Each structure stands twice: as structure tokens, then as C-alpha cells.
Amino acid sequence: MPNFPKIGPDNDNGEASEPPPTVPKSLRAAQPPTPQDQGRHLQRLGHSDGVKASYRREKWRSRSMSISSNGNDVSSSGSVSSRSSFSSESGSSDEEEDAKFDPREREQKNSAGQSDFCVRNIKLATFGRREIEIAQESGLNIYAWKNMTEKGFWWCIDQCVAADFPSETATVEGEGVNKNVWANMILDDGGDLTHHLYKNYPDKFNNISGIVEENIAGIHRLYQMSRQGKLPAPVMNVNDSVTKTKFDNFYASRESVTDAIKRSTDCMIGGKLVVILGYGEVGKGCAAAFQGIGCNVMVTEVDPICAIQAAMQGFRIVRLEDVVHHADIVVTCTGNKNVVTRDHMNKLKKGCILANMGHSSVEIDVSSLATNELRWERIRSQVHHIHWPDGKYIVLLAKGGLANHNCSSIPSFVISVTATTQALALIELYKAPPTRYKADVYLLPKKMDEYVAQLHLTVFNAHITELTREQAAFLNINRTGPFKSQHYKY
């Protein structure tokens, strides 16, 4: 097992210290943090439990959207057709029955008698859904279920805000446990918890040593706060750590996009004309997957650098409106809003599959499909046919939510890489000397990124080469890393 890397001034092995990496200059806070901000950071309590987790929203809630013109969710009004012989659906009538109830309306207790949690249906723990297993087995307070509504999502966050984090080191007279202690770290995904606290419960930050954020949208919001001098604690941006970006965005998308389409539509993918919108990490992964399976892949881009990369990879760079009539499969990967509009969808050819792999539910303008002349038909879980009056239909996956999260699965290896990165970031922020991180946004120290990769290399029985002293001196780096500068482009 490789040793946990030592960072910065703590480095006691006589090697040159690596200064904590920060945000690129262009993104740095315009104003220095206020003394109050810094004071909060320095105000640490001596307990280490109670790390707060706001799990990736889309992953857990797969938010159900209200899309029919009468405000009802189409999935509940549409009938399941005979085509619902879908292998990855559980087919459990218990689960279907269960889906009709809001978990908040249930009285739930796990086998240990604990009831401070809320999941879909604890009785269905054997069906392998992780949030249920956690509630059943670990006794953690967990508030999560698939298909939660927006209202349910905020209810869950409020449950976490209201929760106690009993600590062994902080005591209340006569009880031995301080019921008023709250979390001392935030692990956020999308920034919802951080912003909710900032707006409604700013005092909670008095005890927060740091925030770890892994989502691109959440990071944008935190950079904004940083520029305005409003950050209440130091932030570690793990979204831009190399291991996270490569695994969560590139490799996982490469493996899951075709899997999601195959599982949900059973269609033959080879030979199809596929349009990928956006050629960033996710788009590169998706394009590679379709290319590998024998598709004719075209790419749309706004950024000339990404566009030229796509061109060099052999993809044609097009505008969606120019090829929309011919596309068999359209996949959005931009992180941007309404990149597929109603106008585009009017022009898609019959049977075209439309899937979103980018930012939660915003990339496809699904709300524009809630008009009277269009008929929604639920084919099976996460698959709808949208019928036009002229007989044309398109196949919409996951109602415009993330296709891979809803129709496929995230490999545990990817979760392991991401979770390890997040855990190391939490440990680093918590254990660092108070002067190392102020209320600003930081990148994960390169050495930690390398450590995450090193830990996971064991899976591949890999033997990496060690630098000789002479070689390390020639490259002017330490023999044990970091091997690259912070801004090296892998």
C-alpha cells in the first residue's frame, strides 16, 4: 500500500514542499477573504466525525419532471406497452406499488430500530439499491430515493441540516454527547447544500473547516462566491482533479453511453449516424464509444480547440440544424442549456434516439414537448416515444435526465476513484495547518491525485518505473512525485 502523500509545510522528509495549488489567476477572488471568513476557518473543533454528504443529485434522485400539459408526470399516465420486456427493470410488483408512495409518508425503521433516515422502502433492501442497504446496514442518517421530486430533494437537504452529529469530544452537561454539534466538513455535489446553508443557515459555517465540491456547476458557483469575497470556508475543487475528470467524465461515459442506449432500446448501434453535442471530456468519451462500435460520428462544438481535436480524431464538425434530419442518435454532452430545442426535435427523423449525457436535465428542452399536439407514450422505464401528429415519433431517454445514470449504471471502480479523491480532499482540508488554506478555491494537490491513481493501479497488476536520482535531477522533480506541474494537460 503506497504511503499517504505529505503535502506542503507538513512534509517532514526533507524534500521541497509543494505550495498548495490554487485557482488559476483569472478565476481568483477579486477581493481577499474577510477576517470573519478566516476566523471561521480557524475556529475548528477537535472532533473528526460527522462528515456531511450531499450526494450527487442526479445520481440519487433522477428527478422526475412534470412534463404533461395538465401538470401530471407523463410516466404515471402512460401505459406500459408489450414492449416492456426490458432486462434491467426489476419487474417487481412490490417496487411498482412502492413507486406510488412518497417515502416521506412512510414510517420506516431499520432492523436495528433506527428511524432517523428516509429511503424508498426499507422492506425492499434485498433488491440491492444502495441507499436502502446503507439505511438498513450502516445506521447512517441517509435521505435519498430514486425519482424524488424537487420538493423531496429540498426536504432531504433540510433533514440533513436539522440532523445532529453527536461527538465524543464535545459534551453537554450530564449527557456525554453534544446534541447541538453539526458537521465540520461539507462534501457537496452541485453546490446546493453549500448555497442553502449560506442563504438560510450561515451560522453553520462557524464550525466548517472546508468544503469539497466535485461538480462543474457547483464549482462555477463557488468561484463566483470567491470572486465576490463571499466564500465562508476553504474549498477543494475535485471536479478538476485529473483522476476524477478522466474517470467520471471520460472513461465512465465511454463505457456507459452505448450501454444505456442498448439496455433501454435494444437497438443495433453499429452503422448509425450519431451526433455528439460538445467535445469536452464527456463528449470525447461518448464519441470514442460510438466510433469504436462502428458508427458514423459527427460532433458539434462552439470551442475551436475542442472542434479541431474532434476533427483530428476523424469526426466531422457540423451544426446540429444541418444534420438533424439524418441523425439516428443525438447525444448531448455540453453542460449547457437547451442545446436541443423544440425546433431541432420537430426536424429529427422518425425513430431518432435522443439522450443527454451532460448536465442533469437542462440540455434538451423537454418542457417544450409538453404541448397538446404531441403524445407521450411510456414504452418502458426511462424510455418514452414522443409522437407527432404526422406519425413521426422520437425516442427520448430518461425524460432528458442523464442517460447513463438512469438507464445504465456507474461502475464501482469509477465511484471508487471519485470517492477516494473526495475523501483525500476532505482529509487534507481538515488536517492542514490553519494557515495553509484560506477562504478560497483550491485544486487538489497533484501528489494526492497521483496517490489516487497509484492506489487504483493495484487492480491492474501494474509495475510502474521508478526514476533514478540522475533522471529526477535532470527533470528537476522529486523521485516520488509530483511528476507533473499542476496545469499539465493529460
Per CB under 6 A, residues contacting ligand NAD are 215-216, 248-249, 252-253, 277-283, 300-303, 306, 333-336, 339, 357-359, 402, 404
CA torsion sign for 88, 92, 97, 101 is negative
57: Cβ contacts below 8 Å, ≥ 6 apart: 63, 153, 189, 190, 192, 360
Give the residue with the Cβ less far from ligand NAD, 233 or 339: 339
Separation between Cα atoms, residue 374 and residue 367, nearest integer Å: 12
Looking at beta carbons only, is 178 or 258 nearer to ligand NAD?
258
The nearer residue to ligand NAD, 205 or 290, going by C-beta atoms, is 290
Identity of the residue, 136 or 334, whose beta carbon is nearer to ligand NAD in the bound complex: 334
Q: Which long-range contacts (CB under 8 A, 24 or more apart) does 426-430 make?
A: 426/51, 426/185, 426/187, 426/210, 426/212, 426/236, 428/7, 428/236, 429/185, 429/209, 429/210, 429/211, 429/212, 429/234, 429/236, 430/48, 430/184, 430/185, 430/209, 430/210
CB of 306 to ligand NAD, least distance (A): 4
Nearest to 275 by CA among 257, 250, 248: 257
Three cell numbers, residue 471: 533522471
The cell for 250 is 471520460
Residue 326 to residue 321: CA distance in whole angstroms: 10
Cβ atoms of 421 and 244 within 8 Å: the answer is: yes
In angstroms, give the least distance from the CB of 133 to ligand NAD: 22
Kindly tell me which of 131 and 281 has the beta carbon lying closer to ligand NAD: 281
Select 121 or 418, whichever has its Cβ closest to ligand NAD. Answer: 418
To ligand NAD, the closest distance from the beta carbon of 55 in angstroms equals 14
Q: Minimal distance in Å, beta carbon 357 to ligand NAD?
A: 4
The smaller minimum CB distance to ligand NAD, of residues 161 and 317, is found at 317
| Cβ closest to ligand NAD, residue 335 vs residue 400 | 335
Nearer to ligand NAD, 288 or 432 (CB): 288
Nine cell digits for residue 462: 501494474
Between residues 209 and 253, which has the closer beta carbon with respect to ligand NAD?
Answer: 253
Closest-by-Cβ residue to ligand NAD is 280
Minimum distance from CB of 431 to ligand NAD (Å)? 28
| Residue with Cβ nearer ligand NAD (37 or 281) | 281
Question: In terms of CB distance, is 54 or 207 closer to ligand NAD?
Answer: 54
CB 75 → ligand NAD: shortest distance, Å?
21
CA distances (Å), origin 255, targets 86, 168, 268, 292, 381: 20, 44, 16, 11, 21
Beta carbon of residue 403, minimum distance to ligand NAD (angstroms, whole number): 7
